[in-house]
Structure 1
Amino acid sequence: MKPTTRGTLAAVITGVAATVGAAAPAAASGTVPVPVPLGGASRSLGMEVPRVGAELPLLKPGAPDGPRYVSGRLVPDRTLPQLPVSSGLPGLDARAPLPRPLGDGFDHVDVDSPTGDLRALTPGLSLDAPLTAPAGRDSGLPGARIPQVGVLPPVVHTVADGNVGTGPGR
C-alpha cells in the first residue's frame, strides 16, 4: 500500500472515530450542542463580537397506542393510531456587545432560552366500514350504512422559557 493511500485511510478512520465518539454523549443527553465559533473573527477584527451557542434536541418516537376493537364495528377504532413523539424545544445562549452612547467601552445584552420538554401526538385516523356487523336476520348478511371517518388532531404540550438581560462590562 502506498504511503498516500495509507495516510488517506488513516484520516478517514480518524474522522469516523471522532464522529462516533462525539455522537455517543449527544445521544445520551438528548441534545446536540451547536457552538458558533466567532473567536477568530474577534481576534482578526480586534474587537468583541457576539457569542452564540445553541442546543438542538433529538426526537424520540414512542410506541403508538394500537387499534381498539369495539363490538358492533367491522373496522377497529383508531385505524391509524397517533404516534407519540417526545423531544425538546431548541435552546439558545447568546451574548452581544452594545456600544455605550456616551463614553468608551461596551455593555452587553444576554439572551438565554434553555431547552424545554416537548410532547406531541401525530394525527391519527378513525374510520368505520359502510357495512354493519352480520346479524341473525337477512341470512347473516351485513347491512349497508353510511361510512364514518374521523381525523384525530395532532396534540402538542410544551412550556417555553427564556431570559433577556443587559449588563455592564465583559
Structure 2
Amino acid sequence: MKSSTRGTLAALLTGVAAAVGAAAAATPASAAGTVPVPVPLEGVEQSLDMELPEAGGELPVPAPGAPEGPSYVAGRLVPDRALPQLPVSGGLPGADLRAPLPHVLGDDFDHLAVGAPAADLQTLAPGLTLDAPLTPPDPDAFGLPEPRLPQAGVLTPVLRTVPGADLGVGAGL
C-alpha cells in the first residue's frame, strides 16, 4: 500500500471515530428530553458581597414523530387524511428558583423556592381531509360515477400537557 493511501485511510478512520464519538456524546442529552440551563450568579454574589437567588432552567428537546398516513375509506375516491397530522413531542420549559429571605429573629437566611419542572407536551399539527366531486364507480350505472358536492375538512391541531409547579419556604439556601 502506498503511503498516500495509508494516510487517506488513516484520515478516514479518524473522521469515522470522531463522528461515532460525537454521536455517543450527544445521545444522553437527546435521550433525556430536556437540556439543563444553569444561570451563573456567583460572580455577582462576590462583587456585591451578598447572597443572590439561585436560578436554573430546563429547555425541552422537541422530537418529531411519524405521521399517521392516509387511509382508504370505503365509498370515497380520495384517501382519508390527504394531508396527515404531524405529531411532535417535546415539553414545556422548566424553571427552578431559590431566593434567600432574611430571617426576622437572626442572621440566618431562610429561602423561598419555586420549582416548575419541564412538562411533557404532545402536539398534532393541523391536517386536511378531502373528497372528490364524484362517487366511486357504480355497477348499476355501467361503472360510471355520479356527480356530488366536493367535501373538504380541516383536522384541528391538538395540544396535550399537564404542567405543574411547587412553591416552598424553608431553612437554608
TM-score by length of 2: 0.76
After superposition, what is the alpha-carbon deviation per residue over 1:23-43, rounded to whole angstroms, capped at 9, x for unaligned?
A: 443113121111111111111
Aligned AA for 1:133?
P
Q: Identity, % of aligned pairs?
A: 62
Q: Tell me the CA shift for residue 71 of structure 1.
A: 2.0
| 1:46 corresponds to which of 42, 49, 64 | 49
Aligned residue pairs total 153
Matched, 1:153 2:168: no
Query: Greater CA deviation, 28-37 or 91-100?
Result: 91-100
* CA distance in structure 1 between the partners assigned to 2:148 and 2:53 by the alignment: 66
Aligned: 1:93 with 2:96: yes
5 Å-filtered alignment, 1:1-40, equals: 20=22, 23-40=26-43
Match of 2:130 in 1: 127
- What letter matches 1:112 in structure 2? G
Hey, what does 2:145 align to over in structure 1? Answer: 142
Structure 1 position 140, deviation (Å): 3.7
- Report the secondary structure of 2:80's partner residue: coil
SS at match of 1:98: strand
Unpaired stretches in structure 1, ≥5 consecutive residues = 1-16
Report SS of the residue matched to 1:142. coil
2:45 is paired with a residue whose SS is helix
Q: Which residue of 2 aligns with 1:113?
A: 116
Q: Which amino acid letter does the alignment assign opposite residue 67 of structure 2? A: P
